[in-house]
Structure 1
Amino acid sequence: MATVEFRKLTKRYGTLEIVHGIDLAIHDGEFIVLVGPSGCGKSTTLRMLAGLEDISAGDILIDNRVVNEIEPRDRDIAMVFQDYALYPHMSVYENMAFSLRYRGVAKRDIDVRVRDAAAVLGLEPYLQRRPKQLSGGQRQRVAMGRAIVRKPQVFLFDEPLSNLDAKLRGSMRVEMKKLHQRLGVTTVYVTHDQVEAMTLADRVVVMNGGHIEQTGTPDEVYHAPASLFVAGFIGAPTMNLIPAQLTSGAMLKLAGGAAEAPLPADRKPAADDLTFGMRPEDVEVAEGETPAGRLDVPAQVEVVEPLGADTLVFTSVAGHPVAARVRPEVRPKPGENLKLRFNLDRMHLFDTATGRAIGAPQAHG
């Protein structure tokens, strides 16, 4: 196992800069997930770590050793790709053993390592099969097994579950989490799927436009997003975001005059143009008198999605989309006018011009 560190890591293609001098320290044994939309620089960053892309500027350190000029095979890493990259003419056993044979590992040691990895991944019944005889999930396990047998210091995963169907992705996430808990190897994982990021990571690194927007635990990036981008990317549905103005009476006036809320004492925005944020689970359909610490806002129902355990209600508030995650028995009709109730203890505020968060919502109780 090893630490990994990026110091002002930069990637340019000609005059186009893809990764903009990022800094990141990854702890020994940590599972880090780089997440963000397509084109944000996450896969390029992983490929620089793997040695598959040249570094334009900055340094990469593995276990406190600068590896900028070190060949991929000498970095003591193992990478699992999106497309599995298995040899179709080889059996599962031969695919898993190939890199060890290439490195001159003794035949007896190869056999022990392959069979141990196959036992961990549930591949023992399939060792003599060819890749075409396996399901997508089984092929991905073979690709993981090929990485495990090398006993590297660092595992790298480049969107390994994106070719699987939704059900299989869910089960493979569980398997990968169990695998990391068992092996404890430092892992860097790239995905555009924020559900994968939240369920797998010790820490999530949210990337946008070649920059790191925020690094934190899944709880931190979800409950205390550092920017409008993170708030609008993390979560399903993502955070409700409504333009707001700060009035002269220190009140927060939502767009269209939908409602006004008192500004918390710990929030002192430097600008008047703000964005009000509220997670869907902190919104409910209003009933009865408005309790203290709540804000009722008129809305029109657009779509209702029953999910069994709960219901998603998608509405419009002064022309802005607002989603509420409510009890399963709550089923308003599309087109219905109602009031949504916001929990002001969970309010997020952002400076609209800079996109940065202002203060933080109160801790959940």
Structure 2
Amino acid sequence: MATVEFRKLIKRYGTIEVVHGIDLSIDDGEFIVLVGPSGCGKSTTLRMLAGLEEVSDGEILIGGRNVNETAPRDRDIAMVFQDYALYPHLSVYDNMAFSLLYRKMPRKQIDARVRDAAEILGLTPYLGRRPKQLSGGQRQRVAMGRAIVRKPQVFLFDEPLSNLDAKLRGAMRVEMKKLHQRLGVTTVFVTHDQIEAMTLADRVVVMNGGHIEQTGSPDEVYHAPASLFVAGFIGAPTMNFLPARAVDADTLQLGEGEVVRRQGAGGTGGNVVFGIRPEDVDIAAGTLPPGWVDLTATVEVVEPLGSDTLVFTSAFGTSMTARVRPDQRPAPGSQIKLRVNAERAHIFDAASGRNVLNAVNSSRSGLP
């Protein structure tokens, strides 16, 4: 196992820069997930770490050793790809053993490693089969087994679950979590699926346009998003965003005059964006509690999900979603009052997109 470090890492294709000087330190045994939309630079970053793409500038260190000029086979890493990359003419056993045979490892040692990995992954009954005789999930396990037998310092995963159906993806997430808990190998996992990021990661690295927008635990990026981008990307359904105006340091005005009071919400003044998660929005009933505000909205679509209901509305010409009790199903086209917990809101500067309250809370707690 080993630490991994990116120092001012840059990737250019000709004159076009696609990764812009990122810095990241990954602890020994940590499970890091790089997440972001297509084209954000996450796979390119992973491929530079693997040695499949040249570094244009900056450094990559594995276990404290600069590997910029080190060949992929000499980096002591193992990579699992989206398409599994199995040899169709070889058995499961031979696919898992291939890299060890290539390195001329003794046969007895190869057999022990393959059978140990097969036992961990539940592949022992399938060692004699060919890839075409396996399900998608079983093929993914073989690809993971081929990585495990090498006992590398670092595992790299490039969207390995994207070809599986939703149910199988959920099952494989659990298996990968168990595998990491058992082996404890430093892991870098790339995905565009924020559910995979939130459920698998020790730390999530949210990327956007070749930059790192935020690094933190799943709870941190969900409950304290650093920017509008992070707030909108992490969470399903996405966070609600309403335009607002700062009246003073602790007061905002929404829509047609609704006033929200919360310490520090006004930031430095001017135009801001009021962000609120759907689970912090309810259908108004009874007396308005302190710290809450009611907003008039028109119901557009209602989605019953069994455990709860999603109510999609329009408020002040902006879409707004509420996650409410399963028995709450207002009629489409009806006008309702949405009750918002202002203490759970996030306030973003309209110009920079940065979270105003993060800066306020950091200054109060003495954090940088």
Shorter-chain TM band:
over 0.9
Aligned length: 360
Q: Distance in 2 between matches of 1:217 and 1:324?
A: 25
Secondary structure at 1:172 match in 2: helix
Q: Distance in 1 between matches of 2:107 and 2:21?
A: 44
Q: Distance in 1 between matches of 2:83 and 2:95?
A: 14
Q: How does 1:133-212 map to 2 (within 5 A)?
A: 133-212=133-212
Quote the residue 2:345 is aligned against: 347
Question: TM-score under structure 2 normalisation?
Answer: 0.96
Preserved CA contact (<8 Å) 2:295 2:339: yes
Quote the residue 1:275 is aligned against: 273
Q: Distance in 1 between matches of 2:301 and 2:131?
A: 44
* Identical positions, percent: 73
* Structure 2 residues not aligned, in runs of 5+: 362-368
Q: Distance in 2 between matches of 1:50 and 1:289?
A: 58
Q: Distance in 1 between matches of 2:14 and 2:164?
A: 35
Q: How does 1:96-135 map to 2 (within 5 A)?
A: 96-135=96-135
Preserved CA contact (<8 Å) 1:37 1:208: yes
Preserved CA contact (<8 Å) 1:258 1:297: no
Name the stretch that deviates more: 267-276 or 5-14. Answer: 267-276
Paired residue for 2:305, among 304, 307, 310? 307
Q: Which amino acid aligns with 1:146?
A: R
Q: Distance in 2 between matches of 1:310 and 1:180?
A: 32
Quote the residue 2:260 is aligned against: 261
Q: CA deviation at 1:51?
A: 0.1
Cα shift readout 1:265-304 (whole Å, capped 9, x = no counterpart): 2345224110000000000000122111110000011111
Q: Which amino acid aligns with 1:281?
A: E
Q: Distance in 2 between matches of 1:153 and 1:358?
A: 40
Q: Which amino acid aligns with 1:200?
A: L
Q: Distance in 1 between matches of 2:199 and 2:340?
A: 27
Q: Which amino acid aligns with 1:359?
A: L
Q: Distance in 1 between matches of 2:185 and 2:247?
A: 52
Quote the residue 1:94 is aligned against: 94
Q: CA deviation at 1:254?
A: 1.3
* 1:249–1:348 CA distance, 2 compared to 1 (3 A): closer
Q: Distance in 1 between matches of 2:142 and 2:248?
A: 63
* Structure 1 residues not aligned, in runs of 5+: none
Cα shift readout 1:184-205 (whole Å, capped 9, x = no counterpart): 0000000000000000000000
Secondary structure at 1:54 match in 2: coil
User: In angstroms, what is the RMSD of aligned CA positions?
Assistant: 1.2
Preserved CA contact (<8 Å) 1:91 1:128: yes
Preserved CA contact (<8 Å) 1:258 1:318: no
Q: CA deviation at 1:359?
A: 1.6
* 1:156–1:47 CA distance, 2 compared to 1 (3 A): same
Q: Which amino acid aligns with 1:67?
A: V
Quote the residue 1:37 is aligned against: 37
Preserved CA contact (<8 Å) 1:258 1:317: no
Preserved CA contact (<8 Å) 2:249 2:265: no
Secondary structure at 2:337 match in 1: strand
Cα shift readout 1:23-48 (whole Å, capped 9, x = no counterpart): 00000000000000000000000000
Q: Distance in 2 between matches of 1:14 and 1:65?
A: 28
Q: Distance in 2 between matches of 1:203 and 1:274?
A: 29
Secondary structure at 2:356 match in 1: coil
Cα shift readout 1:140-181 (whole Å, capped 9, x = no counterpart): 000000000000000000000000000000000000000000
Q: Distance in 2 between matches of 1:333 and 1:129?
A: 55
Q: Which amino acid aligns with 2:166?
A: A
